[in-house]
Amino acid sequence: MTHLFPSLSGYIKSHGAMGKIHSNVSLAPYTSYKVGGKAQWYATPHNWQELQATFEWFSSKNLSLTLLGAGSNLLISDKGIEGLVLSTRNFRHYQFNEETGCVTVAAGRPIVSVAWQAAKKGWLGLEWAVGIPGTVGGAVVMNAGAHNKCIADLLVNVVVLSYDGKIKTLTPEDLNYNYRTSFLQNGKYLVLEATLQLQQGFTREEITKKTQENLQKRKSSQPYDKPSCGSVFRNPSSYSAGWLIEQLGLKGHRVGDAEISHCHANFILNCGHAKAEDIFYLIRYVQQKVQDHWSLLLEPEVKILGEFSTF
């Protein structure tokens, strides 16, 4: 099915806030996979006022809504996405509170940036996040983690915008956190900012060293030279997804320019001009092979958006 999107662009205005709504925008440049079709409508507000105005425009049009942060954990269909795609990439402010040891970070700021800022201050808690490519908002939604630590361990609260336009503050207890999951994945709330509890009293040298060591571990065991979404599948309770895939000899298996990494079998890489459909096919192919051999269905960690062919 071919999507024919209108070629118009419009402006919204509410309470003195002005935000631009773009139409027919390619989403490939805004995802770490560098694949995907066009958004029917696309907005990147710079502040809460513009965001609320965007919501008013969206609600008046009876459109579907898709939220986009850094696009690091997404596979978007080559056919694009209908409705409004709302990106928080311009929400990047952050503030360290010396009295409480907390850092409050806007949803669109890369979590790796906050990890390095914390390291420079000698604040312990985010050194594990240095190799995670997503935003703080995405990390909160997915309960991102590494080295046996995760966002749920640090989160004090999160400020969200509900689809009825109301701003709410939620606690970790509200989010029903589990391994790489949270209540926020139901798509009913947009994360605006999060407050994380860190530990003070360390030196800049100590935390910077820990952070650098974690980064080197990830670089030595995971591919960083080609576009990917990071880990494709959640680890089951028995063995890691990468180990299960590797045992089946699937490293290097390729569809078009999409390839299962030789370095880490839980990564699918865009080796040049891969299509989203190629990556999707590999995901389904791996799932089928693992299920046939291990009687285990691997659950994707990557969020798949849009229309794809049936495997």
Q: Tell me how far apart the alpha carbons of residues 125 and 121 are, in angstroms, rounded to a whole number.
A: 12
Judge whether 301 counts as a catalytic residue: yes
What helix, strand, coil percent values describe the chain, rounded to 5? 30, 30, 40
CATH of 94-220, one of 3.30.420.40, 3.30.465.10, 3.40.50.300, 3.30.450.40: 3.30.465.10
In the chain, the largest separation of any two C-alpha atoms, in whole Å, equals 60
Question: 174-214 pLDDT, tens per residue?
Answer: 999 998 889 998 877 889 999 999 999 899 999 999 999 98
Q: What is the pLDDT of residue 71?
A: 85
Looking at the predicted structure, is the pLDDT value of residue 279 above 80? yes
Burial class from Cβ neighbours inside 10 Å (0-12, 13-18, 19+) for residue 128 reads: buried
Looking at the predicted structure, is the pLDDT value of residue 5 above 80? no
Pick from 3-12, 27-36, 72-81, 196-205: least confident:
3-12
Q: Tell me how far apart the alpha carbons of residues 192 and 69 are, in angstroms, rounded to a whole number.
A: 11
Looking at the predicted structure, is the pLDDT value of residue 111 above 70? yes
Judge whether 231 counts as a catalytic residue: yes
Q: What is the pLDDT of residue 268?
A: 98
- With beta carbons less than 8 A apart as the criterion, state whether 210 and 198 touch: no
Closest by Cα among 266, 246, 226, 274 to 75: 274
- With beta carbons less than 8 A apart as the criterion, state whether 111 and 70 touch: no
Q: Which residues contact 301 (CB under 8 A, 6 or more apart)?
A: 73, 142, 180, 230, 231, 232, 233, 234
Annotated active-site residue in 193, 259, 277, 301: 301
Q: Tell me how far apart the alpha carbons of residues 25 and 58 are, in angstroms, rounded to a whole number.
A: 17
Looking at the predicted structure, is the pLDDT value of residue 220 above 90? no
CATH of 10-87, one of 3.40.50.2300, 3.10.580.10, 3.30.43.10, 3.80.30.20: 3.30.43.10
Q: What is the pLDDT of residue 217?
A: 83
Cα distances from 283 to residues 70, 157, 262, 301, in angstroms, run: 21, 34, 16, 11
Averaged pLDDT of the chain = 89
Judge whether 259 counts as a catalytic residue: no
Looking at the predicted structure, is the pLDDT value of residue 102 above 50? yes
Question: 147-165 pLDDT, tens per residue?
Answer: 889 999 999 999 998 877 7
Average pLDDT estimate for 233-250: 95
Residue 82's pLDDT band (boundaries 50, 70, 90)? very high
Annotated active-site residue in 89, 180, 259, 277: 180
Domain boundaries defined on the chain: 10-87, 94-220, 224-298
In CATH, the number for domain 224-298 is 3.90.78.10
Helix (H, G, I), strand (E, B) or coil at 245: helix
Question: 136-150 pLDDT, tens per residue?
Answer: 999 999 899 888 899
Q: What is the pLDDT of residue 53?
A: 85
Percent of the chain with pLDDT over 70: 93
Structure tokens at 81: 């996405």
Residue 6's pLDDT band (boundaries 50, 70, 90)? very low
Looking at the predicted structure, is the pLDDT value of residue 109 above 50? yes
Annotated active-site residue in 231, 259, 261, 277: 231
Place of tokens 């650098």: 212
Residue 17's pLDDT band (boundaries 50, 70, 90)? low
Percent of the chain with pLDDT over 90: 68
